[in-house]
Amino acid sequence: MSSQITVSTDTLRKLHRIHQQLRDLNERFERGPRIVKAHQANVERLEKRLEELKAKAKSLRVAADARQLQLQTGETAVKRRRQQLLEAKSNVEYQALLDQIAADEMANSVLADEALELMEKLDEVKKQVAAAEAALAKAREEADKARQQYEGQAPSIQNDLKRLQSELKKDEAELPGEFLDLYRRLVRAKGGDALAPIHGEFCGGCNQHVPLNLCAGLILSKPICCKSCGRLLYLPEDHAP
């Protein structure tokens, strides 16, 4: 590149500002769908959790009802055998009925304990279902809010992107033809970080020292790149090396 090439410091400042704003806007534009997708994934996870809890509650209800039915059948059997005691025709028959009643009552006691335990578990799962329903309702509300927010902001962001891209094209047209290849190569590689101001004798991008002869070149509007990070350097408005 010819040593006679000069680049307007004001142009470099504007280009850096535009590239940074474009980067930030693109990140915002791309972040929106990711946020919406993350909210939707959370909703789907909570929906699945709620379905699992409801299935568990149904299973517990079925099991508890089955125990209650078995208990009712057992209690009916005990009542029948107690009536049979009154009709026993021998001591042997009487004792056999007593033994059977004792066995039935023991089985009924176990069934009653199991039914109670199942009902307690069911009550706990019902509480979890209620909490899961509340969490799902909140997640759906947040997902809808995120979607509406993105849909509301997207047109404005797109308009800002178009405006800045137009400004960028206009300012790039002011760059010397021999300088464009370097500039475009840096922008392709670094995007919004292709340029950096110099602070004192240090690169504003990587904070590495910039030799005095290069600092002097900036004062003369020479295109100067940081020897450490490769960024195109320019003088800030409120500072000169």
| pLDDT score of 1 | 47
Q: What is the mean pLDDT of residues 175-185?
A: 90
Q: What is the mean pLDDT of residues 170-191?
A: 91
| pLDDT score of 3 | 54
Mean pLDDT, all residues of the chain? 93
Query: Is the pLDDT at 32 greater than 50, yes or no?
Result: yes
Query: Is the pLDDT at 232 greater than 50, yes or no?
Result: yes
| pLDDT score of 121 | 97
Q: Which residues pair with 234 in a beta bridge?
A: 197
- Token pair for 169: 């094209």
| pLDDT score of 106 | 96
| pLDDT score of 237 | 83
Q: What is the mean pLDDT of residues 121-146?
A: 97
Q: What is the mean pLDDT of residues 44-64?
A: 97
| pLDDT score of 240 | 43
| pLDDT score of 2 | 43
Regarding beta strands 195-199 and 232-234, do their DSSP bridges make them parallel or antiparallel, or are they unpaired?
A: parallel
Concatenated DSSP letters of the chain: --TT----HHHHHHHHHHHHHHHHHHHHHHHHHHHHHHHHHHHHHHHHHHHHHHHHHHHHHHHHHHHHHHHHHHHHHHHHHHHHHTT--SHHHHHHHHHHHHHHHHHHHHHHHHHHHHHHHHHHHHHHHHHHHHHHHHHHHHHHHHHHHHHHHHHHHHHHHHHHHHHHHHHHTTS-HHHHHHHHHHHHHHGGGSEEEEETTEETTT--B--HHHHHHHHTT--EE-TTT-PEEE--TT---
Q: What is the mean pLDDT of residues 70-84?
A: 94
